[in-house]
Amino acid sequence: MQFGEFEITSLSDGNFRLDGGAMFGVIPRTMWSKRVQPDDRHRIVMSMRPLVVRAGGTTVLIDAGVGDKLGPKAADIYGFDRSRHLDHTLADAGLAAKDIDIVLATHLHFDHAGGFTVRDGDGIAPRFPNARYLIRRGEWEDATHPHERNRASYLAENYVPLLEAGRVEFIEEDGDVMPGISVWRTGGHTMHHQIVRFESEGRTAIFVADLIPTVAHVDLPWIMGYDLYPMDTLAYKRRFLAEAVAGEYVIFFEHDPSVAAGIIRDDAGRLSVDPISS
Ligand SMILES: [Zn+2]
């Protein structure tokens, strides 16, 4: 998609499956299963859609999917289908790993940061050999000091090797990471989860990451059970949706299996998403 001065491309690192109940928090299965059909292990299909943005001479990748370091046990639990993964979709966009200048993390859960590193002989190395990795400092602290509730989502091999390789630059606060591209802390999902905003020629697009993971999560109370601070998600979502509807923001959904981007509409309190195909 050409978006003002930016060329924005939604990529894919394949699909995986998460427990449907956990994905919808307090929403009963009788309701969410009308929107999304679970499989025989009660899981729903989710995509992993990193975003690549080309602006001037700089290429920015936002999140990188799960990558290929997980073993067969995780593959079974999460039902990964990476028959088409990030390398393929980068190539479709005319890019290779060496072309990425900046990798920007929304947060460090394994389905977003797994693709930041690769196995390299006996060790683990940065996946993007020429990239600086921009990571919010608070998220880094939480990811390197996990507790019982978030431990399963934070795998040190996805980010600690980046620091050891001298590739990490910490983001301390909200604001521009480059002209027209800024990050905003939402909290909620994790304390320092952030979304990415693009502004060009009077239009706004947002990569919402796990604030609104799929189009089925647009309604206010449809909040993941995974969220550590669901009331913060609710408060941020309430403000964000009002702004996004009024401004006709282009929303990029990181986990929706069929809608990569769309515009959220409010028809007398009934929210829906108009998908964008190009
Ligand atoms: Zn997450």
List pLDDT tens digits, range 208-234. Answer: 999 999 999 999 999 999 999 999 999
User: How many Å lie between the centroid of ligand 1 and the Cα of residue 226?
Assistant: 8
Question: Number of helices (H) and strands (E), helices first, in the chain?
Answer: 8, 18
User: How many Å lie between the centroid of ligand 1 and the Cα of residue 188?
Assistant: 10
131: its two tokens: 């990239």
242: its two tokens: 């009002």
Asked if 110 contacts 66 with a C-beta cutoff of 8 angstroms, the reply is yes
User: d(Cα 114, Cα 105) in Å, to the nearest integer?
Assistant: 11
> Residue 42's closest CA among 25, 62, 22, 70?
22
User: How many Å lie between the centroid of ligand 1 and the Cα of residue 166?
Assistant: 25
Asked if 169 contacts 134 with a C-beta cutoff of 8 angstroms, the reply is yes
Q: Whole-model pTM? A: 0.97
> Residue 200's closest CA among 36, 4, 20, 21?
4
Contacts of 199 (CB under 8 A, 6+ apart): 4, 180, 182
**What burial class does residue 83 get, using C-beta atoms within 10 Å of its C-beta: 0-12 exposed, 13-18 middle, 19+ buried?**
exposed
DSSP state string for 23-38: HHTTS-HHHHHHHS--
User: d(Cα 61, Cα 54) in Å, to the nearest integer?
Assistant: 9
User: How many Å lie between the centroid of ligand 1 and the Cα of residue 228?
Assistant: 10
pLDDT tens for 45-97 read 999 999 999 998 999 999 999 999 999 999 999 999 999 999 999 999 999 99
User: How many Å lie between the centroid of ligand 1 and the Cα of residue 150?
Assistant: 10
Asked if 49 contacts 90 with a C-beta cutoff of 8 angstroms, the reply is no
User: How many Å lie between the centroid of ligand 1 and the Cα of residue 117?
Assistant: 17
Predicted confidence (pLDDT) at residue 278 exceeds the cutoff of 70: no
Determine the Cα angle at 257 with ends 68 and 112, to 5°: 40
User: d(Cα 47, Cα 214) in Å, to the nearest integer?
Assistant: 9
pLDDT tens for 172-212 read 999 999 999 999 999 999 999 999 999 999 999 999 999 99
User: How many Å lie between the centroid of ligand 1 and the Cα of residue 103?
Assistant: 17
CA distances from 216 to 37, 101, 146, 193 (A): 12, 33, 29, 20
H or E stretch at 15: strand 15-19
* DSSP annotation of 9: E
Residue type, 182: S
Neighbours of ion ligand 1 (CB under 5 A): 109, 210
